[in-house]
Amino acid sequence: MEILTYIIPFIVLLTVVVFVHEYGHYYFAKRYGVGVTDFSIGFGKELFGFNDKYGTRWKFCLIPLGGYVKFFGDRNVFSQAEQEELLKNYNDEDRNKLFITKPIYQRSLIVAAGPLANFLLSILIFTLIFMFSGKDFTPAQISEVQENSPAYEAGIKNGDLILSINNKKVNSITEVSTFINTSTTSNIDIEILRNEGEITYRITPKIIESTDSLGNKVNKKIIGIKISPPNNKFNKQRLGPATALFYAVKETWFVIDASLDFIISMFKGKGDTTQLGGPIKIAKITGQVSQLGLLAFLSIMAYISISLGFINLFPIPMLDGGHLMFYAFEKALGRPLKQKTQEGFFRIGLFLLIFLMLFTTVNDLKDLGLF
């Protein structure tokens, strides 16, 4: 029964996030007159579904690890000659429903709409959380500096108020650990306020093996400080719609920016790849978080939604970003890429995706102590 506490919340979360992603594609496809034959949540054998009045089959399938929207006449079209041959098989009315007959900007918007929908979902969730639950604005005041720690050696003292970390403004004590641990640089610049004067310190954090709030093993960066709310009072405020939206957009962008920095650091050989996880780890964390209540579950849904949108923008064939890359080439060349060229890109993309899946699966199994 314990495994169900992980699987059920994971399936619910994934269904919502994938539905929103695919609906982004669907919405813009319908907006530009592209025929949609299938809207599927999951892959494999259909479990149940229905046909709408426009002829689209909405269905749930056996393997709930993704989804897709299938366009009318959909197929891989590699060359201008193949496009012309394909168009001969359709009358004028049906040709207008084909995805390939649409201008590049419309095809690009249809493809990009999936990740965009994921980002909008996260913004909506964060906005609602900040409006109804509130956002913490407790000043990050240092109450203790451990002797011989990186912060101690740098010159940070008790009573210092942290203003920013790596040029990111610190609005809450909860952001200090987040900004430090998402940093991809060897050194961290911390700006503090002391006696009405602002001072910036450059600190090299220590990396230790630790556990997060859920008990999962993580590599954690520490600088040797303890932060407490001034006068032991937290400052959590419910925000108005406009202010909540502002901070929701800011939080979404922070996650995107941190993810991009992490990817760049991996290519430089500096990223901690042990922290990468696949479906198994995501399911585990989702199950753990769901036991903390609806608020925590919605928060993890927002972060997963951002991750799904971000990953799909990678310029890898079979992902949305790969299609956008092909459209960029088509715009520059004035024609689609040749068949052999696209096939080469697809082979590379398939290899990269399989490698990533295997790598994250090994990390998941290590996390479970099975590898």
Bridge partners for 219 per DSSP: 209
Give the DSSP H or E segment for 12: helix 4-31
Give the span between the Cα atoms of 302 and 285, in whole angstroms: 14
Mapped onto helix, strand or coil, the DSSP state of residue 246 is helix
**Residue 190 CA from chain centroid, whole number:** 27
Classify residue 79 by burial, with Cβ atoms within 10 Å: 0-12, 13-18, 19+.
middle
Integer Cα distance of 13 and 16 in angstroms: 5
**Cβ distance 300 to 285 under 8 Å?**
yes
Q: In which residue are the tokens 């089959």 written?
A: 57
Q: For residues 40 and 70, is the Cβ–Cβ distance under 8 A?
A: yes
Find out whether 43 and 66 touch, Cβ atoms under 8 Å: yes
E strands along 289-350, which residues? none
CB 278 within 8 A of CB 360: yes
Catalytic member of 22, 175, 191, 251: 22
| Amino acid symbol at 172 | S
Task: Judge whether 330 counts as a catalytic residue.
Answer: no
- Cβ contact 21:308 at 8 Å: yes
| 144 CB neighbour count, 10 Å cutoff | 12
- What is the spatial distance between Cα 157 and Cα 146, in angstroms, rounded to a whole number? 10
CA distances from 178 to 64, 168, 170, 327, 349 (A): 31, 11, 10, 37, 32
- Round to whole Å and give the CA distance between 5 and 8: 6
The residue to which tokens 């080469």 are assigned: 344
Please list the active-site residues.
22
